[in-house]
Structure 1
């Protein structure tokens, strides 16, 4: 999970530079400084083609299997990450005009655009080889619903020492599994089956998780309720909650019962306090709600949202390809040693988590999430937060279109894009919100019954898991058939960061009116399909109440 922060272009190669302007060197933040000789292993390859080789096939025949060309799937231009100490003499040798102010980096020298008298010879010794990778899968069978799975996964491979990424996550998830095993030995029984996965080859393109999930796609579609993804459990002090909105209440309820080691307060209270502060610092004015008469701007109600999922970790195949709701939960911070040799035990013990108190807190939080998700009679999916998120995402798209129109120029070759399908999407979101509230009320009432019929619970839980699957687009997103989720996907130009409502977002970003006209009805139809799935679940839940 990284991105290049500096680059020196050469005729036939380029260097990737760890530039101190974006780390502590420039901000005088000693904890986040990268060392002069430090090199981070950032993204230097077209990794959208990686992670496509299925283990049960002879990978020597992978070109026939995938239709990919080996030369196109790996970096065509030789590249080498270098430290800023190694880059300094190269910058100093550049002549020509000084760079614009916005290009000036953090090194104590004047940056020039070149050319210069220096020639650089780059030697890259890349070895291509076939390696065996191994996922480790463990299960704790459920007592009442063994064919429904609550999953937790963490990758164990690292670029270097990996104290943060991924070993902090490995430690915390294994401790959570140990605690669940101890509870089992003491008489606790999960209602649903718990599945633990230790993924291999995540750093090479999410290979282990992707291949396993693709191979077990039909079984996952039938059985998976949710996925708790853990990558780097501890890289700083701040609780970071990302996930599908239907899991918001589950994770916040668990976080309310775990104490933050830094403040002595419940984690959820701190997280909500920070979200409210961010909300208050933003412009708290919006247009009338969807479906309301236009009576001018008003103050919105505060409603916390989980961070939107994009990609960059092992939840990707589960959410983006299979439509399985997932959480990504960790303690985060700008730790400055990402994917470098300095991500080691010394850094973690000295700077990252002295006393390993946040590792312990993360393990407690994961244990509670898993135990409650596996034990709840009704699957812990609430959809009112999803409706709020959809409205927020649609508002963001509407604002994007408005900004583009304001920034347009009469001399532009193409006219600004027109959001002609806004009313259609607004109506679909409003219908989703109304149905979500009705379903949440119905499942709440069902859960409050002393002894609801087992058959009703089984049918309701089946129906609840189908809601997320309804967001999947059969042919996938434009030019990205692997990514099938209509609401969440990584951006085409944002690395790991999410593009909510990605098909429509892509059309707006590219100012492509034809693509927008195509994507709006697709998105509206997927929201309508999810609404219909919720209506079916509500009908079953109401039937169980009589």
Structure 2
């Protein structure tokens, strides 16, 4: 029967396609009659007679093939009849034999990439076949407390400051592990400018010519030199603290601000003090009794930004032509850390007004807090020096089978000013253990659709330098390919609470993950039930500039998340960051002896989020979450516009109509996408890729296109910093109503326009192709 079926198939091909279009057999024959050689192409028509090559050479020496005569209408009819007969016969035979032989279903774990066929056919990637419950179970089986304790011992060293031999040694360890796992590892070199203390010329602090001390701790990127001024106690250095001093007639101009740690970053404390005219800032560790030894030195940086501040907006590769530029986030005033003992000496000498209750700290031996500003001068000398330093980022990748050019990035800081056990060692161990676990899962049958990139960053303690330089180097491609960043920095620093900072696109995924991970101490409660109860909002906090995920979200527009297990109580911050006391012993105490268990939990949270993002057909990113957030901000703007109208402080009326319309456009686009998702065919790879691309662009489209990433790196209109943000627009409305000096009605209108069109542009891209847009703007 095979012969007639083949003949019928050939007839179908010729009816719809004419002559065959692909030629698969070639004969190179030399003409024996002395004529020039020729190539004869034989058409592969199964079951048909072939023309003899020698006969073809004599009759058609200059032709490559002979066209057959056209079929007549009669032949077409015969062909159609033959097709119908054999179709019916084949259907009956298939129906009869189907009940006799049922193919057995292969187990999920045996799915492997198909090899090439003998005929050279295209190899199709294998479809992921494991259920989600199988994947979470496989991940859980690969993670253990014992493995983490062993890895923590392997990576814990006393000195691994950025660019040091210790940092490079740890980087090589990570690289070798990635090599052993066959993760196609690579390294990324950057030549950055770091600031370190001078070896022969120490920093000094004097009070009325009496030396308070020569601290070995320091703040990188401080201005250098010597200055003197009256010392004023400014609490945490928050804006409200400095405004209070202004209200009680204490002038910070050309003073030395004495500030305690906590609440905000060191860089923000210095930036705030500079805005109020301070000449220098002294920062000391302020902790509960017995938390920190009074002689403990404090380290950190005061660049109000991320990355190498001397190559703002572009990467510090070796071939970069460095212009004479520097970040606007570098402070213009001196900044220095001092110990609690040194701070106590200064506090005891302070006079002036008594500090309010909320200014009172935790210094042992201090009975009364005064604000100062009336007696004595503090002299501050900072002799830090800049040094060109080579740093290495280390990468490995687990490639996807369907969309390998789309990837989630999991990263951890590797360096530290001191031991940095909670700051960097734990995160590095989480990184390599997750890489090991998911590599083994892939060997056992897990087939991710998309890729996972594992990144070990250097110079994180100087302001996320390594990660930011990588983002700057590959900015043009990362926003089109990287769809999420998961930070492992500081993931475990306590045992009583859970905190997360994230893009709203990741809220639903985080909540779902916390509802799936079980608390090992209870065996019944999920992480969500234990730490969030019934209110998800209680675990969320704003993403700060010192967060390792911050530049991914606000500079590159990549949905990002960082999370951490912390101590319960207020404050929940780990007190040993930036000190030599950030060691295993203190972290064991903070985690109540269950450090390994919390490492497993942190790995499960990060791992399950990453696996979900690379496993599902469609990205688990909730675009409707931004609808709620943007509407919340716009509601505040509406209120301020109404208040401004009542105040009658503008010469012409202001309306928020077009901003409201843009928010409506985004809402409709998000709802339309959700409808497309519900009605999509998940087996249609092109459709899934198209939908995923629309989802991926949302975060990037919330970066303002109207400012330069070199001048304003954190361009996100919701989470960024600068005059283009929604919060800046809201503040400007308030200031204009109150006739605050420096307000500008024309600039306000410009802010309105740029905010409106940033949101509208995001909505247009989310809606799909330009010919599918349907809005009134």
Picking from 322, 343, 349, the partner of 2:556 is: 322
- Counterpart CA distance in 2 for 1:86 and 1:217 is 45
User: What is residue 382 of structure 1 aligned with on the other side?
Assistant: 622
- Counterpart CA distance in 2 for 1:487 and 1:355 is 37
- Counterpart CA distance in 1 for 2:767 and 2:718 is 19
Picking from 81, 106, 109, the partner of 2:337 is: 81
* Other structure's SS at 2:500 match: strand
Q: Taking CA–CA contacts closer than 8 Å with sequence separation of 6 or more, which of the two structures ends up with the larger relative contact order?
A: 1
**Residues 148, 193 of structure 1: 8 Å contact kept:** yes
User: What is residue 590 of structure 2 aligned with on the other side?
Assistant: 351
Larger Cα Rg: Structure 1 or Structure 2?
A: 2
- Counterpart CA distance in 1 for 2:585 and 2:676 is 52
Task: Confirm or deny that 1:520 pairs with 2:776.
Answer: no
Task: Confirm or deny that 1:126 pairs with 2:388.
Answer: no
**Residues 153, 198 of structure 1: 8 Å contact kept:** yes
Query: Does 347-356 or 414-423 show the bigger shift?
Result: 414-423
- Counterpart CA distance in 2 for 1:46 and 1:527 is 27
The verdict on how the C-alpha distance between 1:427 and 1:309 changes in structure 2, with shifts beyond 3 A counting, is farther
Q: CA deviation at 1:308?
A: 4.2
User: What is residue 397 of structure 2 aligned with on the other side?
Assistant: 139
TM alignment of 1:142-221, pairs within 5 A = 142-221=400-479
* Other structure's SS at 2:676 match: helix
Task: Confirm or deny that 1:16 pairs with 2:282.
Answer: yes
User: What is residue 94 of structure 1 aligned with on the other side?
Assistant: 350
- Name the count of aligned residue pairs: 486
The verdict on how the C-alpha distance between 1:420 and 1:88 changes in structure 2, with shifts beyond 3 A counting, is same
TM alignment of 1:233-252, pairs within 5 A = 233-236=491-494, 237-252=496-511
User: What is residue 21 of structure 2 aligned with on the other side?
Assistant: none
1:53-74: CA deviations, max 9, x gaps? Answer: 3332467x6343xx339xx875
**Residues 8, 16 of structure 1: 8 Å contact kept:** yes
Task: Confirm or deny that 1:462 pairs with 2:696.
Answer: no
- Counterpart CA distance in 2 for 1:404 and 1:272 is 39
- Counterpart CA distance in 2 for 1:229 and 1:418 is 48
* Other structure's SS at 2:388 match: coil
The verdict on how the C-alpha distance between 1:132 and 1:271 changes in structure 2, with shifts beyond 3 A counting, is same
The verdict on how the C-alpha distance between 1:310 and 1:505 changes in structure 2, with shifts beyond 3 A counting, is farther
Query: Does 265-274 or 477-486 show the bigger shift?
Result: 477-486
**Structure holding more strand per residue:** 2
**Residues 509, 620 of structure 2: 8 Å contact kept:** yes
* Other structure's SS at 1:235 match: coil
The verdict on how the C-alpha distance between 1:441 and 1:316 changes in structure 2, with shifts beyond 3 A counting, is same
Q: CA deviation at 1:83?
A: 2.0
User: What is residue 471 of structure 1 aligned with on the other side?
Assistant: 702
1:138-159: CA deviations, max 9, x gaps? Answer: 1111101011111111211112
Q: CA deviation at 1:428?
A: 2.4
Q: CA deviation at 1:509?
A: 6.4
Q: CA deviation at 1:203?
A: 1.8
TM-score, normalised with respect to structure 1: 0.78
1:185-212: CA deviations, max 9, x gaps? Answer: 2121211111111111122122111111
TM-score, normalised with respect to structure 2: 0.56
- Counterpart CA distance in 1 for 2:334 and 2:515 is 50
- Counterpart CA distance in 1 for 2:565 and 2:675 is 33
The verdict on how the C-alpha distance between 1:266 and 1:46 changes in structure 2, with shifts beyond 3 A counting, is closer
* Other structure's SS at 1:130 match: strand
The verdict on how the C-alpha distance between 1:262 and 1:440 changes in structure 2, with shifts beyond 3 A counting, is farther
Task: Confirm or deny that 1:507 pairs with 2:732.
Answer: yes
User: What is residue 718 of structure 2 aligned with on the other side?
Assistant: 487
- Counterpart CA distance in 2 for 1:164 and 1:417 is 56
* Other structure's SS at 1:219 match: helix
The verdict on how the C-alpha distance between 1:49 and 1:453 changes in structure 2, with shifts beyond 3 A counting, is closer
Q: CA deviation at 1:377?
A: 0.9
**Residues 13, 79 of structure 1: 8 Å contact kept:** no
Q: CA deviation at 1:181?
A: 0.9
Residue segments in structure 1 that go unaligned for 5+ positions in a row? 279-304, 409-413, 493-498, 541-546
User: What is residue 581 of structure 2 aligned with on the other side?
Assistant: 342
- Counterpart CA distance in 2 for 1:307 and 1:98 is 33
The verdict on how the C-alpha distance between 1:524 and 1:86 changes in structure 2, with shifts beyond 3 A counting, is same
**Residues 40, 81 of structure 1: 8 Å contact kept:** yes
- Counterpart CA distance in 2 for 1:146 and 1:261 is 35
The verdict on how the C-alpha distance between 1:162 and 1:539 changes in structure 2, with shifts beyond 3 A counting, is farther
TM alignment of 1:396-407, pairs within 5 A = 396-398=636-638
- Counterpart CA distance in 2 for 1:313 and 1:359 is 19
The verdict on how the C-alpha distance between 1:153 and 1:385 changes in structure 2, with shifts beyond 3 A counting, is same
Q: CA deviation at 1:13?
A: 6.3
- Counterpart CA distance in 1 for 2:285 and 2:459 is 27
- Counterpart CA distance in 2 for 1:403 and 1:235 is 45
User: What is residue 55 of structure 1 aligned with on the other side?
Assistant: 316
1:400-434: CA deviations, max 9, x gaps? Answer: 6789999x9xxxxx959999343332332233223
* Other structure's SS at 1:515 match: helix
**Residues 50, 73 of structure 1: 8 Å contact kept:** no
The verdict on how the C-alpha distance between 1:403 and 1:201 changes in structure 2, with shifts beyond 3 A counting, is farther
Task: Confirm or deny that 1:370 pairs with 2:610.
Answer: yes
**Residues 169, 230 of structure 1: 8 Å contact kept:** yes
- Counterpart CA distance in 2 for 1:484 and 1:238 is 31
- Counterpart CA distance in 2 for 1:452 and 1:401 is 49
- Counterpart CA distance in 1 for 2:536 and 2:645 is 31
- Counterpart CA distance in 1 for 2:640 and 2:427 is 37
User: What is residue 189 of structure 2 aligned with on the other side?
Assistant: none
Q: CA deviation at 1:233?
A: 0.5
User: What is residue 5 of structure 1 aligned with on the other side?
Assistant: 236
Q: CA deviation at 1:8?
A: 4.5
User: What is residue 440 of structure 1 aligned with on the other side?
Assistant: 674
TM alignment of 1:200-349, pairs within 5 A = 200-236=458-494, 237-261=496-520, 263-264=522-523, 265-273=525-533, 275=535, 307-332=541-566, 333-349=572-588
The verdict on how the C-alpha distance between 1:306 and 1:113 changes in structure 2, with shifts beyond 3 A counting, is closer
Residue segments in structure 2 that go unaligned for 5+ positions in a row? 1-218, 221-233, 238-254, 259-276, 567-571, 737-742, 773-777
* Other structure's SS at 1:354 match: coil
- Counterpart CA distance in 2 for 1:530 and 1:228 is 23
**Structure holding more helix per residue:** 1
